């Protein structure tokens, strides 16, 4: 790409915020002074902040040399760009010297960088507005979703611009740290969302804000049931608002599971004609006010996407505090690459990362169900391992906690452990791993502490 390739740029700049002289000044200053490189890279983290692709390439090349502790000047940079095949595209070696000629003083590097960053923020804002306008024009999005997406993008831009203003020196928040440490020693760690399983809650101190918790199992072992158990305890025992996203079961099916577990009415009684006994009706009537008044949102949509999940969570968070998100299950979610099976691993990895970001953004625990592959079924003891996570190792990498479900009686009905279930905490970034033994009451569609049996 040569300097002449930008002949039409003034017209484009009239519509798109950009300051090409400031970009040239920032890069030229970096070529003249290592101090200028430090100043610019402190402000500009993303190469895309430069409007010209050629300037993005030069910035990356300068930063790579600087990070390696190597000298930076037009001659060595031209050599690097020649080896990478980028020199011609940026306008050749003369363009690097041309950048230096645009600099009044390397001491102005920070000023140039501030201008470049400001224009990048305006471009990001403009892009967010354009995407919203396109959504309005082609009618692809609902009004609420369009507003939520625009608000989220603007919030992201604001967060990104304010991040650089924070004082990162270790002593900047020293007093706050000591206060938190003193409080921790005196009162113990803050309790998260309790699951209702005593040994598990003692091990984890509850599910913490910002965590991604993966519950993984083979089909029909009970991962959905465990998700319902946790959300029941959070909403009906602790009164914490939660949302359950179901890509597999309908609202009616989920309510059946909740009613069966909460009222201790056998599931087959609920699902069969005239199957409810007088005792069943009495049990359900006793707990119905608790079920009906629970702060629980149920979203059943087999076509759920990350955008829909984010939008719905933000809507709930604006109405009331949101304390827990459950997604059942991860592999059924649609991503941007849906339909291209060769990219399914990348798709699942992106979904996993996005759920982790959602947990951090909302500051709530996010539980995601996940299927395991057939690896466990080929082993003698049938116990699942982390390596059995289906389709993507990114799930294990992104998760703060991974719980593998195992029931011996699912493979051997005559097992001496019939009715028992293991919660194998195979990964726990915040503490120890362990195996928690519980009871599985399939007729009530629930897990319970062994002591309760």
Supply the pLDDT for residue 156: 67
Sequence-distant (≥ 6) Cβ neighbours of residue 57 within 8 angstroms: 47, 81, 86, 89, 90
Compute the distance between CA of residue 57 and CA of residue 37 in angstroms, rounded to an integer: 15
Identify the domain boundary among 121, 136, 152: 121
d(CA 191, CA 327): 22
Question: Which range, of 72-86, 102-116, 228-242, 301-315, averages the lowest pLDDT?
Answer: 301-315
* Same domain flag for 115 and 227: no
Task: Determine which of 5-9, 43-47, 48-52, 65-69 has the lowest per-residue pLDDT on average.
Answer: 5-9
Element containing residue 197 per DSSP (H, E): none
Helices and strands (DSSP H and E) totals, the chain: 18, 9
Q: Is the residue at 315 inside a domain?
A: yes
pLDDT score recorded for residue 3: 43
Whether residue 338 is predicted with pLDDT greater than 50 in this model: the reply is no
Q: What is the mean pLDDT of the chain?
A: 82
Domain with 62, as residue range(s), is 3-121
Q: Is residue 155 part of a domain?
A: no
pLDDT at 165 over 80: no
For residue 180, is it within any domain? no
- Residue 171's pLDDT band, with cuts at 50, 70 and 90, is low
For the chain, the C-alpha Rg in angstroms (whole number) is 28
For residue 128, is it within any domain?
A: no
Tell whether 72 and 216 lie within a shared domain.
no
Report angle CA 332, 409, 264 to the nearest 5 degrees: 75
Task: Confirm if 345 and 367 have CB atoms less than 8 A apart.
Answer: no
Bridge partners, 401 (sequence order): 213, 428
Same structural domain, 238 and 371: yes
386 and 293 in a common domain: yes
- For range 398-409, the mean pLDDT: 88
pLDDT class for 1, splitting at 50, 70, 90? very low
Is-contact 385 375, C-beta < 8 A?
Answer: yes
- Residues 149, 140: Cα–Cα separation, whole Å: 13
Residue 330 CB contacts under 8 Å (≥ 6 apart), including other chains? 214, 348, 351, 352, 355, 368, 369, 370, 371, 395
For 231-256, b where at least 16 C-beta lie within 10 A, e where not — what string?
bbbbbbeeebbbbbbbbebeeeebeb
The answer on pLDDT for 195 being more than 80 is yes
Tokens of 202: 């003692």
The enclosing domain of 304 has a CATH number of: 3.40.50.300
DSSP 50: S
My answer on whether 247 and 370 are in the same domain is yes
Domain end: 100, 121, 142, which one?
A: 121
pLDDT of 120 over the 50 cut: yes
DSSP per-residue string spanning 360-408: HHHTS-EEEEEEB-TTGGGSSS----GGGBSS-THHHHH-SEEEEEE-G
Q: Characterize the bridge pairing of strands 434-441 and 446-449.
A: antiparallel
Whether 298 has a pLDDT exceeding 50, the answer reads: yes
Total domains present in the chain: 2
Q: Token digits for 324?
A: 């827990």
Is the predicted pLDDT of residue 6 greater than 60, yes or no? no
Tell whether 371 and 247 lie within a shared domain: yes
Task: Tell whether 209 and 102 lie within a shared domain.
Answer: no
Does residue 51 sit within a domain?
A: yes
pTM: 0.64
Residues 390-393: contacts with CB within 8 Å, 24+ apart? 390/331, 391/331, 391/344, 391/345, 391/348, 392/345, 392/348, 392/349, 392/352
Residue 365 pLDDT > 70: yes
CATH number at residue 78: 1.10.860.10
Mean pLDDT, residues 345-372 taken together: 84
On whether the CB atoms of residues 121 and 161 are closer than 8 A, the answer is: yes
The kind and range of the H/E element at 208 are: none
Secondary structure (DSSP) of 122-148:
HHHHHHHHHHHHHHHHHT-S-HHHHHH
Pairwise pLDDT comparison (201 vs 301), residue with the higher score: 201
Label each residue of 308-336 as H, E or C. Answer: HHHHHHHHHHHHCCCCEEEEECHHHCECC
Distance CA 265, CA 445 (A): 9
Question: 141 or 88: which carries more pLDDT confidence?
Answer: 88
Q: Where is the domain boundary, 59, 90, 121?
A: 121
């Amino acid at each position: 790409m040569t300097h002449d390739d930008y002949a039409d740029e003034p017209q484009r700049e009239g519509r798109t915020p950009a300051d090409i002289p400031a970009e040239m000044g920032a890069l030229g200053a970096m070529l003249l002074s290592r101090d200028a490189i430090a100043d610019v890279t402190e402000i500009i983290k993303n190469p895309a902040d430069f409007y010209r692709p050629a300037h993005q390439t030069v910035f990356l090349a300068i930063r790579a040399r600087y990070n390696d502790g190597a000298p930076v000047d037009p001659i060595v940079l031209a050599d690097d760009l020649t080896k990478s095949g980028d020199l011609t595209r940026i306008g050749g070696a003369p363009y690097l010297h041309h950048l230096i000629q645009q600099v009044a003083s390397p001491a102005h590097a920070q000023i140039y960088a501030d201008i470049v960053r400001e224009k990048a923020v305006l471009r990001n804002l403009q892009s967010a507005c354009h995407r919203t306008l396109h959504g309005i024009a082609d009618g692809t999005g609902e009004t609420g979703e369009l507003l939520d997406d625009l608000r989220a993008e603007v919030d992201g831009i604001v967060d990104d611009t304010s991040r650089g203003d924070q004082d990162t020196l270790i002593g900047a928040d020293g007093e706050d740290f000591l206060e938190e440490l003193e409080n921790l020693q005196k009162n113990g760690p803050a309790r998260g969302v309790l699951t209702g399983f005593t040994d598990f809650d003692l091990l984890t101190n509850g599910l913490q804000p910002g965590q991604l918790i993966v519950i993984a199992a083979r089909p029909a072992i009970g991962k959905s049931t465990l998700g319902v158990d946790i959300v029941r305890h959070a909403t009906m025992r602790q009164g914490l608002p939660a949302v359950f996203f179901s890509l597999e079961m309908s609202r009616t099916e989920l309510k059946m599971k909740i009613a069966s577990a909460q009222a201790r009415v056998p599931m087959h009684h609920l699902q069969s004609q005239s199957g409810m006994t007088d005792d069943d009706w009495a049990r359900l009537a006793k707990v119905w006010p608790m079920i009906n008044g629970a702060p629980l949102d149920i979203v059943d949509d087999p076509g759920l996407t990350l955008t829909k999940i984010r939008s719905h969570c933000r809507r709930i968070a604006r109405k009331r505090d949101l304390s827990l998100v459950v997604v059942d299950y991860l592999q059924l979610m649609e991503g941007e690459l849906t339909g291209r099976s060769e990219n399914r691993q990348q798709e699942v990895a992106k979904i996993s990362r996005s759920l982790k970001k959602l947990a951090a953004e909302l500051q709530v625990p996010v539980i995601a169900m996940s299927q395991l592959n057939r690896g466990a079924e080929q082993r003698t003891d049938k116990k699942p391992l982390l390596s059995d996570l289906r389709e993507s190792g990114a799930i294990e990498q992104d998760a703060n906690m991974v719980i593998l479900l195992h029931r011996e009686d699912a493979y051997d009905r005559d097992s001496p452990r019939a009715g028992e279930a293991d919660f194998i905490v195979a990964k726990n970034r915040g503490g120890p791993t362990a195996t928690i033994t519980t009871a599985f009451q399939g007729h009530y569609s629930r897990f319970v502490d062994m002591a309760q049996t």
